[in-house]
Amino acid sequence: MLNTIIQGDCAELMTELQESSIDLTVTSPPYDKLRVYRGYSFPFEAIVQQLYRVTKPGGVVVWIVGDATVNGSETGTSFQQALYFKEIGFNLHDTMIFQKSNPIPQIYRQRYQNIFEYMFVFTKGKVKTHNPLKVDCLHAGLELKGTTYKNYSRGEQKRKKPAKPVKKQKIKGNIWEYVVGKRAEDQSAKGHPAPFPCALAKDHILSWSNEGDVILDPMCGSGTTCMVAHQLQRPYIGIEMSSEYCELARARIAGHRRESEH
Ligand SMILES: C[S@@+](CC[C@H](N)C(=O)[O-])C[C@H]1O[C@@H](n2cnc3c(N)ncnc32)[C@H](O)[C@@H]1O
């Protein structure tokens, strides 16, 4: 199944994947029926159970999701989903935020504009790969006094003295901001109602996998995760219910192959 986009229901098709064969999944399910996809069906619990079975020990699942507002209240589906992942054995490793630089304008609803989605990072046991992305330190080069470390996870962190002077770079925070749908690299996804940015897939794939690791997207839509995995020399498996979106994903990956040959 490596390096293919397969059409069908991922809950069924994942049963054909070998146990403990996937290093990293980056995926985004349908959100609370916010959009109507062709051939909609979403057996959530079966999908998560299969994800647990196929993920290698130490492997990662990145689950990108937002909530609808129904009768004045956010559904909270994303939290319920995260708790189910924990219930069947995944660690909730990091609750990250996908912030949109250009959110779709909303009619005023006596609340603040919604500009983010969750990116839940689950691991099967202790995470085996983390290649942290870095950002520049605001105070690089300064001799700061009195810097302290906040210890959120007792027992996991070994305390080190703060660097003096302050280092040039530090590990990026867990709120990641992207422009949605406007970058040149994202234009080939047009035809799907909800692709995520290539840059988002790239940042997760670089963070949680190494070259040669197997990347899965069981609800791959326009194929963003698979295309970026291919660009980054990782074999991929894409599953998608709609034959139309499968064709779109295959065309995007083929387009990238042609570009890289020239
Ligand atoms: C939010 S979209 C994913 C978009 C994708 N990340 C991209 O960048 O294009 C969710 C996708 O899941 C697909 N889908 C829904 N239920 C499915 C199932 N049971 N098996 C496989 N795909 C499914 C939908 O057709 C839709 O394309």
Q: Does residue 39 have a pLDDT over 60? A: no
* Atom number of ligand 1 nearest to Cα 249: 9
pLDDT at position 149, please?
61
DSSP helix, strand, coil percent of the chain (3-state; round to 5): 30, 25, 50
User: Scanning the structure block, which residue is given the tokens 């064969």?
Assistant: 21
CB of 41 sitting under 6 A from ligand 1: yes
User: Scanning the structure block, which residue is given the tokens 């291919």?
Assistant: 230
Q: Are strands 116-123 and 134-136 parallel, antiparallel or unpaired?
A: unpaired
Q: Does residue 145 have a pLDDT over 90? A: no
Structure tokens at 110: 């006596």
Give per-residue pLDDT as tens, 200-218: 999 999 999 999 999 999 9
> Which of the listed residues 14, 36, 222, 241 should we mutate to test ligand 1's pocket, taking the one with most ligand atoms within 8 A of CB?
241
Q: Strand 215-217's sheet: what is its strand order?
A: 4-7, 236-240, 215-217, 22-27, 55-65, 116-123, 91-100, 175-178
> Which of the listed residues 240, 243, 247 should we mutate to test ligand 1's pocket, taking the one with most ligand atoms within 8 A of CB?
240
For residues 41 and 20, the model is more confident at 20
Among 25-34, 69-78, 95-104, 178-187, whose mean pLDDT is lowest? 25-34
Residue nearest to atom 26 of ligand 1 (CA): 221
Q: How far apart are CA 186 and CA 132, in angstroms?
A: 24
Confidence of residue 112 (pLDDT cuts 50, 70, 90): very high
Burial (CB count <10 Å: 0-12, 13-18, 19+), residue 16: exposed
Q: How far apart are CA 166 and CA 189, in angstroms?
A: 42
- Mean pLDDT of all residues belonging to the chain: 92
Residue nearest to atom 18 of ligand 1 (CA): 9
pLDDT at position 162, please?
66
CB of 241 sitting under 6 A from ligand 1: yes
Confidence of residue 110 (pLDDT cuts 50, 70, 90): very high
pLDDT at position 159, please?
61
Asked if 63 contacts 254 with a C-beta cutoff of 8 angstroms, the reply is no
- Distance from Cα 31 to the centre of ligand 1, integer Å: 10
For residues 1 and 88, the model is more confident at 88
Q: Does residue 34 have a pLDDT over 70? A: no
Q: Does residue 249 have a pLDDT over 90? A: yes
pLDDT at position 257, please?
84
Q: What percent of the chain has pLDDT over 70?
A: 89
CATH fold label, 4-131+173-261? Rossmann fold (3.40.50)
For residues 40 and 206, the model is more confident at 206
Q: What pTM was computed for the model? A: 0.93
CB of 201 sitting under 6 A from ligand 1: no
Q: Where are the domains of the chain?
A: 4-131+173-261, 134-171
H/E element, 246: helix 243-261
> Which of the listed residues 219, 222, 224, 252 should we mutate to test ligand 1's pocket, taking the one with most ligand atoms within 8 A of CB?
219
Nearest to 25 by CA among 119, 117, 99: 119
Q: How far apart are CA 76 and CA 234, in angstroms?
A: 34
Asked if 102 contacts 182 with a C-beta cutoff of 8 angstroms, the reply is yes
Structure tokens at 193: 């109602």
Q: Does residue 143 have a pLDDT over 90? A: no
